[in-house]
């Protein structure tokens, strides 16, 4: 998986310590910067009632989302070696912020909606800080997790697509719990790739970690909304 040209932020070569530190530092800065268009996109989406192709079927909406998202990620891969890649990445994070509007609107329908959102944000931050710390200080090599995590993502995608048509609450809950576990582990895997020199491009490193954070946040928020939401 690590050598696949479309592994979206999970390929690269071993580098020097100086390069590793620079890539890690730039990755964290760009990751922080990417939160701005994400929040802006989410705000625009909630304020305007944005819904991707709402007039179409759920299946078509999902296909449209994947087409746009993978189009952005392909463009990021093509522009990762120059400054244009930063702007493409920020455009992608704005789009992903827009896609948050549906679940945010749902959660904001609860009387404690804002607190649930902040709790999910804080929980995601704690998970990331924990995984990043382990990845940085641990002597253990977590690179072997890659193929298993990739297989887990494939299973999650298939289950998510199936549930678009099946509408099984138990399956949705299972997918959310597994997604939190898998993408938390991916944070560990992706940060250590930068620390160990396996990823030498800060744009693709940011993309990989951003997707990890995004998926943990969305699924954590979904669980909090289901189990902790209070209707007026």
pLDDT (tens digit, 9 = 90+) per residue, 95-105? 999 999 989 99
Percent of the chain with pLDDT over 70: 89
Residue 130, number of CB atoms within 10 A of its CB: 13
Within 8 A by CB and 6+ apart from 214, the residues are: 38, 96
Phi-psi group of 52: left, alpha or beta (phi > 0 → left; psi -120 to 50 → alpha; rest → beta): beta
Over the stretch 200-209, which tens digit does the pLDDT of each residue have? 899 999 999 9
- pLDDT value at 39 more than 90: yes
Torsion of CA 147, 23, 31, 125, to 10 degrees: 70
Angle of the 145-166 helix axis to the 169-195 helix axis, nearest 10: 150
Task: Give the pLDDT score at 85.
Answer: 95
DSSP 8-class letter at 223: H
Question: Are the CB atoms for 86 and 66 separated by under 8 Å?
Answer: no
Query: Closest by alpha carbon to 97, among 153, 157, 161, 47?
Result: 47
Quote the pTM value.
0.88
For the chain, the straight-line distance linking the first and the last C-alpha, in angstroms and rounded, comes to 48
- Longest Cα separation, the chain: 57
In angstroms, rounded to a whole number, what is the distance separating the alpha carbons of residues 211 and 93?
Answer: 9
Within 8 A by CB and 6+ apart from 32, the residues are: none
Q: What mean pLDDT do residues 6-18 have?
A: 55
pLDDT band for position 167 (50/70/90)?
confident
Query: Closest by alpha carbon to 161, among 66, 74, 62?
Result: 62
Q: What mean pLDDT do residues 176-195 have?
A: 95
Q: What mean pLDDT do residues 137-162 have?
A: 90
Query: Closest by alpha carbon to 58, among 167, 176, 201, 171?
Result: 167
Residue 137: C-alpha distances to residues 85, 134, 141 (Å): 30, 5, 11
- pLDDT value at 6 more than 70: no
Q: What mean pLDDT do residues 109-138 have?
A: 94
């Amino acid at each position: 998986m690590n050598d696949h040209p479309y592994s979206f932020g999970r390929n690269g070569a071993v580098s020097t310590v100086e390069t590793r530190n620079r890539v890690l530092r730039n990755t964290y800065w760009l990751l922080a910067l990417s939160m701005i268009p994400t929040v802006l996109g989410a705000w625009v989406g909630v304020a305007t009632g944005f819904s991707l192709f709402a007039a179409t079927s759920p299946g078509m909406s999902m296909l449209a989302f994947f087409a746009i998202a993978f189009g952005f990620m392909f463009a990021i891969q093509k522009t990762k070696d120059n400054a244009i890649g930063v702007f493409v990445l920020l455009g992608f994070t704005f789009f992903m912020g827009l896609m948050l509007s549906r679940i945010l609107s749902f959660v904001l329908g609860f009387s404690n909606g804002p607190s649930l959102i902040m709790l999910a944000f804080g929980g995601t931050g704690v998970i990331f800080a924990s995984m990043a710390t382990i990845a940085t200080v641990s002597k253990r090599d977590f690179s072997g997790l890659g193929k298993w995590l990739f297989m887990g993502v494939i299973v999650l995608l298939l289950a998510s697509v199936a549930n678009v048509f099946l509408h099984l609450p138990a399956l949705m809950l299972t997918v959310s719990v597994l997604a939190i576990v898998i993408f938390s582990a991916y944070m560990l895997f992706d940060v250590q790739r930068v620390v160990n020199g396996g990823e030498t491009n800060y744009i693709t490193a940011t993309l990989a970690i951003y997707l990890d954070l995004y998926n943990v946040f969305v699924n954590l928020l979904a669980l909090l909304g289901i189990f902790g939401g209070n209707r007026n």
